[in-house]
Chain A
Amino acid sequence: MSKSFFIDTTLCTACRGCQVACKQWHSLPAEQTINRGSYQNPEDLSFDTYKLVRMRETVVDGQLRWLFFPDQCRHCYEPPCLDTAGDPSAIFKDGSTGAVIYTANTKNLIADEIIESCPYNIPRKAQDGALAKCDMCYDRVFNGLAPACVKVCPTGAMNFGDRAEMTTLANQRLEKVKNKYPKVSLLDADDVQVIYMVAFDPDLYHEFAVASNNAFDITRHAALRRMLRPITHFASRLL
């Protein structure tokens, strides 16, 4: 059964334990940062930063809100990046967890096309053109552990488990907080394996909190490539 995250942003305190745990588990180097007038740092995801707590101050209905959005790859059911790549040695979907995995061979892809194809603006490239992003800690998951970001979360904002368990939890939480936050919603829940719950208009949290327009429509490039793709690729997808 595929796995899913449920990220309840109403419980997130932006302690950023997830952001550090991600770097620690993946042995990612720290970036040279400066304070740009915000706590959010690094400024954006990068080849060395797979998980980033985005922070925004905004006034909603006359009340100040500090909105936190622990951003990461959504591990789409039908990942446009995977379709765009068309090369399972570079981007593939792990059969047991559903994790979308990037390998070192991503350096052979046209990085900008992959990045552009992502409706959530997640993949980032290195100098050599290789791409990186969240891998669901699938090495941990194979060994019965929760992803590092989930393990470290003190409040229950980050959750991980079997798909059915996570959708149940998400729907329960949605019902529970509706009174407090009438505009609460689950983001693109049917399309992704990382279900975010937000209390307000998702645009207030992050430009790419929900999929950008027409993202799941097959782009012209991808459609073309799919037509040209050797039949074996289709066979492997069916498995």
Chain B
Amino acid sequence: MTNHWIDIKNSDCILIMGSNAAENHPISFKFVTEAQQKGATLISVDPRFTRTSSKADIYAPMRSGTDIAILGGMIKYILDNKLYNEDYIKWYTNAPFIVGKSYTFKDGLFAGYDEKTKKYDNSKWAFEMDANGVPKMDRNLKHKRSVFQLLKNHYSRYDIKLVSQISGTPEALLEKIYKTYGATGARGKAATIMYAMGWTQHTVGTQNIRTMAMIQLLLGNMGVAGGGVNALRGESNVQGSTDHCLLWHIWPGYLKTPRASNVSLAAYNKKWTPKSNDPLSANWWQNYPKYSVSMLKSFFGNAATKTNDFGYDWLPKVDDGKHYSWLDLFDEMYKGNFKGFFVWGQNPACSGAHAGKNREAMKNLDWMVNVNIFDNETGSFWRGPGMDPAKIKTEVFFLPAAVSVEKEGSITNSGRWSQWRYQGPKPLGNSLPDGQIIMELGNKIKQAYKKDKGVLPEPIVSLKWDYLTNGEYDPHKVAKEINGYFQEDITVSGKAFKKGTLVPSFAFLQADGSTSSGNWLYCNSYTEKGNMAARRGQKDAPNNIGLYPEFAWCWPVNRRIIYNRASVDLKGQPWDKEHWVIKFAGDVKEGKYVSRTWIGDVPDGGWYPMQNPDGSMREDSKYAFIMRKHGHGQIFGPGRVDGPFPEHYEPIECPVEKNFMSSVYTNPTAPQYGTKADIYQTCDPRYPFVATTYRVVEHWQTGVMTRHQPWLLEMQPQVFVEISEELAQLKGIKNGERVLASSARGSLECTAIVTKRFKPLRIAGKLGTVVHQVGFPWCFGWQKPVSGKEESANLLTPSTGDPNTRIPETKAFMVNIAKI
């Protein structure tokens, strides 16, 4: 979330799309409700009428996988009706930037596409630079190659009628939503988006979110209270795990995983440190080497020196252009390219797209270590349905882990709040905290490498690994390491620091090895003042908008709403006088600011505002979006692999034979896999219904933590498929009856819930076709309930996904339903 949970209460209009917050983030409705009671409008757009929809002022159905069409239509509506905040987009976004002549967009394809590699050369989308190497801009937004004009042109095709034909959403409803949401472009108004896996799990997942970010920029809703782009994370600490590099393509703090071509630390830092020649651009990532070197110091301690590139060579490099994400790992495992697999706190036999392929893949392993609080369908895959244990060689080890309340440590919630938790009950039996398991494992591996040397022992032997106190894992030591220490006595910005003391914030980190920090974003979380995440102060900030700055700690540097420099006008005064986030309160002399003071939230950089009260521009200011190379929010996003503007493409499996928007059918860069298990069937009469998966409030993820809990199983005892009354009639299916769902990849026996909450949609206009949609929860697995009949809906889902992130497309695929 760019904002945070409490801040939802400040919104004037809440769009919940790609999420079912009332069911999957039930506590969020405390704040949604509060906003509604103050007059906010709640809009729910979902293929299915959910518990969220039941509370909405406006509900609109849609065909799964058509979000970009719907949101593209909103962009057109905002532009046509001039609902955007003009000052905001002129000064804070790249709307005025001039795009180079090589950029084109023709009939669904952007410039630079290579049919053979299925990749774009995105250098074709670069901005035009002036003599100083600064992007050319037309602040009047008139230049025909300005981002603003290209945007207008691109979305001119997304008229309501066509959008309705694609999405099946009635035109009148689309217009009502566009009008309501678009009205928050007015100064002082804010709208927010709450999204989750309903947006990410598509072959256009990243672009779904891009489209919304663009809308928020156009309306001036980024950086303000009650605004932002808010990803509702699926687990209590998934934000924390992402921050600390759960994903293959990043190092802690969103540094890049080095590529094989980054042959030295210098080459690595040069490649990933953005350079701006614009003196008004803070270009915060220019500090990249300070963060990467501090991280290496933290990893290798005294063994990291200038002469050995701080141990850079010891860390693994990924092959250029190769992906190592979930889908790719299981594809390799399926092909027999892995010997072993640590499966830690997860259940891929049920959670991963194309679960059948994943289960087959596990047979190819020599060994698996399953670390979990319960045995699950993954650890026991060898005795699951259709498996013959006698023929499976995989040796499985189970390590019982302590549950979250049995451990001390921090979790970072969706709103980026790192909250320290004390230990409740002691771990049961011989279960151990994950930290303890990792530490002991590390120590054993170190011993083995010391003794037997092995291939490249240096990284293992040199790893700084001193986080035990009296033999027990010490979360405080790890938290301090993450924050970082001064490695020698140094003076930074006139302040003297002693070796061995904690770094007060990332502004003091250095690229010369004199500081360490396991994750620069968390530098400031555990300082000489104490453990910031453990704070429980109840006082609000002076703006009284629910920031509670002394409760827990929030990255970066306790800034509760990021991009907040965009919440003020050029003179530093808030767009919204009532729910202001920050405001400039420096002294004024003869129409000029003469001292620097911001009040409210921690500002996104404490520079002077862009203008003085008399309207003159200041040269010592910085643009609002400090994390962007050029300082502007990106309406045009040339960094993505599938295009600088989001474009509607059909899901890999869909019910329509063509894309009504262009002649490019599906995302031309979406990955597909080639083993015999990877079958995709689009527009196939055997699989005529659009399917989607979701969670229910009663169960958690694959249900490992909830299916063992009788009170929860009592409420949702069986896997089900929700179908419309019309489809039930068509197929002769009665409510509560068991049916068989099937896709090109697998089948699932489930109970039919015949409901008014799914309705057939008419697409492709009045003479078009009727599309039936169905949905499955994916929280079940054969182990529990003990009947063994309640299986994972991911047996049906396809192994394809977003080309930027490789998140699987489990929210739109094709199935059939039949009576048993």
Interface of A toward B, CB cutoff 8 Å? 11, 13-17, 19-20, 23-24, 29-39, 41-42, 57, 59, 64-66, 68, 154-156, 176
Contacts and interface: CB of A to CB of B under 8 A. Distances in A.
A16 B22 contact: no
Chain A CB within 10 A, most for which of B55, B716, B736 = B55
Contacts of B711: 20, 23-24, 30
Contact of A15 (B22, B49, B718): B22
Chain A CB within 10 A, most for which of B711, B712, B735, B753 = B711
Contacts of A13: 22-23, 26, 29, 51-52, 54-55
B37 interface: yes
Contacts of B51: 13-15, 66
B751 A35 contact: yes
B716 A35 contact: yes
B755 A57 contact: yes
Given A35-B720, A37-B752, 15 more contacts: A13-B54, A15-B23, A16-B697, A24-B711, A30-B711, A33-B713, A36-B736, A37-B751, A37-B753, A39-B716, A41-B714, A41-B716, A66-B49, A66-B53, A176-B37
Contacts of A39: 696, 715-716, 753
Contacts of B720: 35
A35 B717 contact: yes
A46 to B, nearest CB: 11
A38 B697 contact: no
Nearest to B57: A180
A155 B30 contact: yes
Chain B CB within 10 A, most for which of A11, A31, A37 = A37
A129 B33 CA distance: 43
Given A15-B23, A16-B698, A23-B711, A38 B29 contact: no
A68 B26 CA distance: 15
**7 nearest CB pairs, A to B:** A37-B736, A30-B710, A37-B735, A30-B714, A66-B54, A13-B22, A35-B718
Contacts, number: 96
A180 B698 CA distance: 30
A117 B714 CA distance: 29
B753 A41 contact: no
B756 interface: yes
Interface size class of B (residues with CB under 8 A): 35 or more
B713 A30 contact: yes
B712 A20 contact: yes
B27 interface: yes
Interface in B715-742: 715-718, 720, 734-737
Nearest to A41: B715
Contact of A64 (B27, B696, B756): B756
Contacts of A33: 713-715, 717
Nearest to B49: A64
Chain B CB within 10 A, most for which of A34, A68, A155 = A155
A11 to B, nearest CB: 6
Contacts of B718: 34-35
Contact of B736 (A14, A16, A19, A35): A35
Contacts of A154: 26-27, 29-30
Contact of A38 (B59, B710, B734, B753): B753
B249 interface: no
Given A13-B22, A15-B26, A57 B756 contact: yes
Nearest to A16: B715
A19 B26 contact: no
A37 B734 CA distance: 9
A37 B738 CA distance: 10
Interface in B732-774: 734-737, 751-757
A36 B23 CA distance: 20
26 contacts: A13-B51, A13-B55, A14-B51, A14-B54, A15-B22, A15-B23, A15-B51, A16-B698, A19-B715, A20-B711, A30-B711, A31-B714, A32-B714, A33-B714, A33-B715, A34-B718, A35-B716, A36-B736, A37-B734, A37-B736, A37-B753, A64-B756, A64-B757, A68-B54, A156-B30, A156-B33
B715 A20 contact: yes
A16 B23 CA distance: 10
Contacts of B27: 154
Contacts of A23: 711
A41 B26 contact: no
A218 B30 CA distance: 42
Contacts of B29: 13, 15, 154-155
Contacts of B710: 29-30
Contacts of B737: 37
Nearest to A10: B55
Contacts of A176: 37
Interface in B29-72: 29-30, 33, 37, 49, 51-55, 59
Nearest to A42: B714
Contacts of B59: 64
A32 to B, nearest CB: 8
A151 B754 CA distance: 33
Nearest to B59: A64
Nearest to A23: B711
Contacts of A38: 735-736, 753
Interface string B572-583: 000000000000
A65 B54 contact: yes
Contacts of B757: 57, 64, 66
Contacts of B52: 13
A11 B33 contact: yes
A39 B717 CA distance: 10
Chain B CB within 10 A, most for which of A31, A64, A65, A68 = A64
A103 B715 CA distance: 27
A225 to B, nearest CB: 37
A36 B55 CA distance: 24
Contacts of A57: 755-757
A32 B755 CA distance: 23
A34 B33 contact: no
B30 to A, nearest CB: 5
